[in-house]
Structure formats: C-alpha cells, structure tokens
Amino acid sequence: MRIHQLVPSMSPGDATSNHILEIDKRLTEWGFESHIFAHGINHKIEKKIRPLVEIRPLLKQKNDLLIYHYNIFHFSAHLFQTAQCRRILIYHNITPAHFYSEWDKSNANNCRLGRFLLQRLQQCDLAIGDSDFNRQELVEAGFDVGKTAVVPIFLPVDEWNALPIDTTLQKKMRKSKSTNWLTVGRLAPNKALEEIIRLFHVYKNQINSDAHLYLVGSQTIKTYSQEIKNLVNSLDLSSSVTLPGRVSNSQLKTYYQNSDLFISASYHEGFCVPLIESMFFGLPIFARNASAIPETLGHSGILFNQFGYLEAAEMAHLMITDAALRQQIISTQKQRLQAFLPDAAEARLREALQQINVLSTLENT
C-alpha cells in the first residue's frame, strides 16, 4: 500500500518537517511504500522530497492513502479536498489571525484563511491533532469527533543527544556566571515577548542584577521584532538581553544546557516543542497557563495566569535558587517527557492508523 504525505513546505530543523520525516521512516519500516511531496523544498533535504506536481496522478488511486499536514493556508489544500484516495488530515494548528492584525497584514490574512479553510477539510477518513488542544479545535471546526485522534510530534532525541556543543557560545554564556533565562521560538506577537522582557526587567532590577535573557528564534515579522528591540533599549537592557535570531541545532542545545530557566509567555501554542526540549535538557519551565501549554506540561513545570510581574519574578528566582524545588520540577518534567518520546509517539501513530484499518490492510497483504 502506498502512503503519500503532502505538506506546503519542508525545511531541515523545522519541527513539522522532522515529524514528517519520522513518520515516513516508521511507515517504511512497517512495510508501506511511503513518499513525501512538498511545494517549497529546501535544497538541503530535496533528495528525500518529491515536487508537489508529481502527486496529482497518484491522488486518483483509491487504494492509496494521503496524509496532509496542515499548518498554513496553502493551495495544496485543494489537492487534499479533491483527492479520491483515503485521506488523513494532520492539524498542526494555525495561530488566530488577530495576533498578527496590527503587525503583519499578509500573515494575518493567511492565518484567517487557514483557520476558515479548516472547516472545509472535514471530508476525510481521520483527522489528527498533535495535541488534544488541536484535536478539540478540529471538533470545534465541525470534524466528526469519532474520526479524530491525537499523535504527538516525533522528537529527534537521538539527534539531540548526538549534537555537539558550541563551545564558543558556552564560554560566552558562562563567562560572567550570570543567571540565564531562555525563551525559544520565532519572534511573533502571540508569544508576548514584551511581557517576558518586562518581567526580566523587574527580576534584574529588584532581585538579581547579574542576569541575562536570551530570546532565541527567527525574526521574520520585522515590525514586531523591531519593536521588541526598541523595548529592550527603552528599558536599558541592551547589554543583558540577546536576540541571536535563528540558530543552528548545536547552538540551540548549548542555549538549553547553559540556561537556568525556560520561560514562555505565549498566548497560543498548538503543542510547543520548546517545552519538550526544555524537559529533555533538564531546564525548569515557567510558562503561561494558556492554549496547549498546560496539556503539554501535564503536572510538570510552573504555570502563571497573568503577570503579577513582581510575584512572577520572585517565583522565577525561587525556581532558580531553591535547589530542592528545582530538582523536583526537573524530575517531574523528566517523567512527563516519557509521554512524548519516539516510542510513545509511534504507538499513538499505530493506534491512529489502526482506527481506519490501514495497518490491518498491510497485515492482510
């Protein structure tokens, strides 16, 4: 049996792309003929990916299965809608448009269309969310609850373990023995980075003057990124806040391993891979109690509902300095991590495919 994965774009290091490659690996291991098709293909991984145009004739084969990864509005959704083969939608979530409306009209339009179009992708055999939060959004959009499932994102833990540390960056981060706060994710309005910067300002001025904040992530939304830099300057934090942009995987590992606290003030996440990365690298998590974040954390980490800057800053300080508390948080995070390790994700993928009898088809052939 042939299974085709279709996605608007593939690029190395991206969580969705990695997820697709991992699914491809599992499907091949289980005996399926597996292919990946994308419109935008980064040249570094182009050998593994076929151009979108080649999928059209295959979509008429009734015995094939199409898996469409939906994370942005794209015309390829039309291929999914009109495909005559069996269909699975994997929904990676789309940020609600209003977060972007003041910052990036084009992005806001894409998000608005993307969320609107979701309602029109209901005609499928199964719809999968990376989290229960995403699955519930599918149900709210009108998908049949009995035809939904949850399969968490596959994490490249072997790759994380094998990655070398960036020693130059490590020396720089540990040079002053300062307390390092870390946040990871592209600079986007839904992440509310301005609130993290204000919280850090309170922490630095009222609690610990020897502290540094690293805001790691791409700066593609220029207007928002610029205002974030302006805020850093207004609060006189330019020497203690670093915005390195998008970094290599080695550098990312170095940031995680040399930080004292992971913080996220995001209002909207469909899964939030950096939380899992923090669990993996043993970094205590302090995050907003919003969207999929409490689900991803389970009972681990510490949540906040709103800032309360002074209260939140004191909590952050306690998480960094109270050794027993810190150890307990890290220990519970490690337990929670088990639910997202590749074996667990693989089992959930198997269950999902079993739900539409795809695996039994393989066993019968």
Show contacts of 313-318: CB within 8 Å, 24+ apart.
313/199, 313/202, 313/203, 313/206, 313/207, 314/207, 315/286, 316/181, 316/199, 316/203, 316/261, 316/263, 316/286, 317/203, 317/207, 317/208
Question: Cα 13 to the chain's mean position, in Å?
Answer: 11
Do 215 and 243 meet the contact criterion of CB atoms below 8 Å apart?
yes
Shortest distance (Å) from residue 137 CB to other proteins: 12
Of the candidate residues 11, 42, 61, 109, the single one contacting other proteins (CB under 8 A): 109
Residue closer to other proteins by CB (options 30, 307) is 307
| CA distances for 225 relative to 175, 218, 234, angstroms | 27, 9, 14
Give me the residues paired with residue 50 across strands. 37
Q: Is 282 in the site for other proteins (CB under 8 A)?
A: no
Q: Is 328 in the site for other proteins (CB under 8 A)?
A: yes
Segment interacting with other proteins (CB under 8 A) among 1-9, 30-38, 194-202, 277-285: 194-202
Q: Is 211 in the site for other proteins (CB under 8 A)?
A: no
Q: Is 325 in the site for other proteins (CB under 8 A)?
A: yes
| CA distances for 340 relative to 130, 150, 337, 344, 345, angstroms | 11, 12, 5, 6, 6
Q: Is 339 in the site for other proteins (CB under 8 A)?
A: no
Shortest distance (Å) from residue 243 CB to other proteins: 15
- The two tokens of residue 318 are 């306690």
Give CA–CA dist 24/247, Å, rounded: 26
Of the candidate residues 45, 113, 339, 344, the single one contacting other proteins (CB under 8 A): 113
Shortest distance (Å) from residue 47 CB to other proteins: 24
Q: Which amino acid is at 269?
A: E
Of the candidate residues 186, 208, 267, 342, the single one contacting other proteins (CB under 8 A): 267
Shortest distance (Å) from residue 22 CB to other proteins: 28
Can you say whether the dihedral through the CA atoms of 93, 96, 100, 101 is positive or negative?
positive
Give CA–CA dist 115/108, Å, rounded: 11
Q: Is 54 in the site for other proteins (CB under 8 A)?
A: no
Of all helices (H) and strands (E), which one includes residue 293?
helix 293-297
Q: Is 228 in the site for other proteins (CB under 8 A)?
A: yes
Q: Is 198 in the site for other proteins (CB under 8 A)?
A: yes
Ranges within 2-21 binding other proteins (CB under 8 A): none
Q: Is 81 in the site for other proteins (CB under 8 A)?
A: yes
- Ramachandran class of 49: left when φ > 0, alpha when ψ lies in -120 to 50, beta otherwise: beta
Total residues at interface with other proteins (CB under 8 A): 61
Q: Is 154 in the site for other proteins (CB under 8 A)?
A: no
**Which residues make up the interface to other proteins (CB under 8 A)?**
56-57, 73, 75, 77-78, 81, 96-99, 101-102, 105, 109, 112-113, 116-117, 120, 189-190, 192, 194, 198, 201-202, 206-207, 227-228, 230-231, 234-235, 267, 289, 294, 297-300, 302-312, 314-315, 317-318, 325, 328-329, 332
